[in-house]
Amino acid sequence: MKLLIATNNAHKTAEIRAILGGHFDEIFSLKEAGLDIDVVEDGDTFEANALKKAVEALRAAEGIADAALSDDSGLMVDALGGAPGVHSARYAGEGHDDGANNRKLLEAMRDVPDGARGCRFVSAVALARKGREPIVRRGTAEGVLLRANAGENGFGYDPLFYYPPLDKSFAQMDAAEKNALSHRYRALSALREALEAERNS
């Protein structure tokens, strides 16, 4: 079975290959498949967005892939009622970058005390397949929102996301550390378990 990953992110593709490689004969990205699709993420949950992207990617990959995988991820902050949530990538508005998003978040959280700065990264992964029901799974990583950026690695909100078990922000971790505990890793691991349960049923 051939799997299309609805991304052009090389790091994400490598991570998915490492976790799901045993379940597919071939795994490739949109770029590797010669596809260029742009799906409007207008769902009100991470799961809805991930599933929409996976279904549309599979439709675009007719004759190329038997299944398509997509994910949608973001940061949910307790004190902000779960914001930025599904709007994480465009929290500061369309066309804004990570820096602008982080500055807006810090400003929104400026007066929130240290004991009330809980947050979590969330990732939903969706696997769309020909002739079979899709599989959707969620993974989370619990943390605390910092008051200033810490670390040079990662992207997005990683410099503001403090992970207590390792006493580091996500941006202070190397790729191996982060990939072993990230929300996406946990979602993909749950998906792998679902595939293994199917295979053994």
pLDDT tens digits, residue range 17-37?
Answer: 888 988 999 999 999 999 988
> If you average pLDDT over residues 54-64, what whole number do you get?
94
> If you average pLDDT over residues 148-163, what whole number do you get?
94
**What is the pLDDT of the chain when averaged over all its residues?**
93
Look up the pTM and report it: 0.91
Domains in the chain, ordered, with CATH?
A: 2-200 (3.90.950.10)
Q: Which residues are catalytic?
A: 72
> If you average pLDDT over residues 109-128, what whole number do you get?
97
User: Residue 14 above 90 pLDDT?
Assistant: no
pLDDT score of 201: 83
**Cβ atoms of 73 and 46 closer than 8 Å:** yes
Q: How confident is the model at residue 184 (pLDDT cuts 50, 70, 90)?
A: very high
Torsional sign, CA 176, 182, 184, 188 = positive
Rounded Cα gap, residues 50 and 52, in angstroms: 6
> If you average pLDDT over residues 111-139, what whole number do you get?
96
Pick from 173, 48, 191, 183: nearest CA to 121: 183
**What are the pLDDT digits (tens) for 60-75?**
999 999 999 999 999 9
